[in-house]
Amino acid sequence: MNTRSLQVNDEIFMRRCLALASIAKSRGKTAVGALVVRDNEIIAEGIESSEEYPALVAHAEIVALLKAAEVLGTRDLSGCIMYTTAEPCFMCSYLLRETKIGEVVFGASAGQIGGTNPDFPLLTTDKIARWPVQLTIRGAVLEQECIAMLRKQH
């Protein structure tokens, strides 16, 4: 896939994440939306604090990963891409690595919203033997819109 079509697809999928984040925000939750995509098709969607799961673990990324595993009938999500409006936290990063997702594309970086600890980059570490494959990570897709969504008041 060429760089131009990659950028177009990234924007299309991130705009869907922003729409999901808006739904979460309208429900009084943190404005985060996430998708799992395979072969340019949305497999699963998640919004922050989904009613389907306990609030403590119902991050948008986790909801999308659980739904994708159910749809595909496997927890091996290699070949899939996670799109999310915010860089995943430690909890979400762990599940992303466990499910072998191949790529993560995010909007707002953790440094701007207080997510992932920069002292231990769980998404990119090669120091955990059970996670031998590194992810491709691309950030700052529609970054300003994602930051604005996170900061927007009810």
Band of pLDDT at residue 4, cut at 50, 70 and 90 = low
Q: How far apart are CA 93 and CA 104, in angstroms?
A: 10
Radius of gyration, alpha carbons of the chain? 14
Question: Which pLDDT score, from 0 to 100, does residue 113 have?
Answer: 44
Answer whether 71's CB lies under 8 Å from 44's CB. yes
pLDDT score of 112 more than 50 = no
Determine how many CB atoms are found less than 10 A away from the CB of residue 100: 17
61 is catalytic: yes
Pick the CATH number of 9-150 from 3.40.1190.20, 3.40.140.10, 3.50.50.60, 3.30.60.50: 3.40.140.10
pLDDT tens digits along 70-106: 999 999 999 999 999 999 988 898 899 999 999 999 9
Question: Which pLDDT score, from 0 to 100, does residue 23 have?
Answer: 96
Contacts of 145 (CB under 8 A, 6+ apart): 14, 18, 107
The predicted model scores a pTM of 0.90
Question: Which pLDDT score, from 0 to 100, does residue 5 have?
Answer: 61
CA–centroid distance for 2 within its chain: 22
Q: Which strand (E) or helix (H) includes residue 129?
A: none
pLDDT tens digits along 14-71: 999 999 999 999 999 999 999 999 999 999 999 998 777 767 789 999 999 999 999 9
**Up-side HSE of residue 133: CA atoms within 13 Å toward CB?**
14
Q: Which strand (E) or helix (H) includes residue 103?
A: strand 103-108
Task: Give SS3 for 69.
Answer: helix
Q: Which of 61, 70, 98, 143 is an active site residue?
A: 61
pLDDT score of 118 more than 90 = no
